[in-house]
Amino acid sequence: VKNLTPITDDPLVTYRKVAEGRGDDQSILRKLTRRIRGCYRWYDKRKPELHVSRGAFHPSFTDDEKKALIHCYVKAPRCFAETKKEIRRLIDVCPYCTILSTQTLDHYLPKHEYPEFSVLSQNLIPSCGTCNFPRDFRTKAGERALIHPYFDTIPQERLLVATVRMVGDTADVTFSVDQSGCKDSAPGLLYKRHFELLKLKERYRKWAMSANGVPTIFSASMVWARGKSCAEVRQDLEIQASLDEPRRGANDFRVALTRGVAGSDDYLDYCLGSMK
């Protein structure tokens, strides 16, 4: 997960511009301007927490108003394309998973439930297609489960663990989250829920394993380890992880995998043995 700094448009100016460009819906949208301003204030006040419960805040829109607000995004006028482009330019890699490149914009608060935020830039997250699938941003119990890349605190402690082991002649990698070492429990818990919601356990594993069951890290770059002892390779990998960590973050899955490989005697023995 990666933090991002949102673009600095004036959201109400953006809304007005979009509304003016929306042909038939123009008059409905114009009449909603004052209420939208109130909604934007609510969003602003509730960040970074964005508690799931709306509390007393429940703007009720008629079906026509809802449709007009959703169409602001779905049938956006040309003037909104520039805003979208600007948001897409914030980052190349999806901040939710950090595996794939960004292809879409995700509505953090979904537009069908929160149509008032359909064109609010702070609610639009550049994201890959896989993370932006139809899903809730909450657990079934109603707790927030998706990290907001603009406003949430991403834990700096190492929570993501990759365990590498040999099963017969095949290497296997398992990713898990251990948030017990997190000083502040709330961000650690949110990180764990985020990991579960976006199925990162399976997606990281898939990334780590090549077709023949060898973690990609070695199949791509085994040459450097040739002729070295197990201890030397382990040390090299630990150095590599320490160099990558400040740049990629403590919970980057590649860094976790490097550490996982370094910590697996079975796997290192197997790799070095197969090179002889």
Q: Which is nearer to Zn ion, 137 or 267 (CB)?
A: 137
Q: Pick the closer one to Zn ion by CB: 91 or 109.
A: 91
Q: Give the containing element (helix H, strand E) for 175.
A: strand 170-177
Taking the complex as a whole, how short is the minimal distance between the CB of residue 228 and Zn ion, in angstroms?
Answer: 35
Name which of 96 and 267 has its Cβ closer to Zn ion.
96
Cα R_g (the chain), whole angstroms: 23
Q: What is the residue whose two structure tokens read 């070295």?
A: 228
User: Could you please report the per-residue DSSP string of 116-166?
Assistant: GGTT-GGGEEEE-TTTTSS--SB-TTS-B-S--TTTSPPP-S--EEEEEEE
The three-class DSSP label of residue 182 is coil
The distance of closest approach from Cβ of residue 203 to Zn ion in the complex, given in angstroms and rounded to an integer, is 8
* 158/145 Cα distance (integer angstroms): 19
CB 98 → Zn ion: shortest distance, Å? 7
Q: Is 18 exposed, middle or buried (0-12, 13-18, 19+ CB in 10 A)?
A: buried
Q: What distance separates the 2 farthest-apart alpha carbons in the chain?
A: 76
First and final C-alpha spacing in the chain: 39
Residue ranges in contact with Zn ion by CB under 5 A: 94, 96-97, 128, 131
Nearest residue (CB) to Zn ion, 19 versus 99:
99
Residue 65 Cβ vs Zn ion, minimum distance, rounded to whole Å: 32
Nearer to Zn ion, 33 or 101 (CB): 101
Cβ-based nearer residue to Zn ion, 192 or 203 = 203
Measured N-to-C along each axis, helices 265-275 and 253-262 cross at an angle, to the nearest 10 degrees, of 80
For Zn ion, the closer CB: 1 or 29: 1
Evaluate the CA torsion angle 20, 25, 30, 33 in order and state its sign: negative
CA–CA dist 188, 153 (Å, integer):
9
Residue 127 CB, shortest distance to Zn ion, in Å, is: 6
The least CB distance from residue 1 to Zn ion, in Å, is: 10
| Least gap, CB of 41 to Zn ion (angstroms) | 30
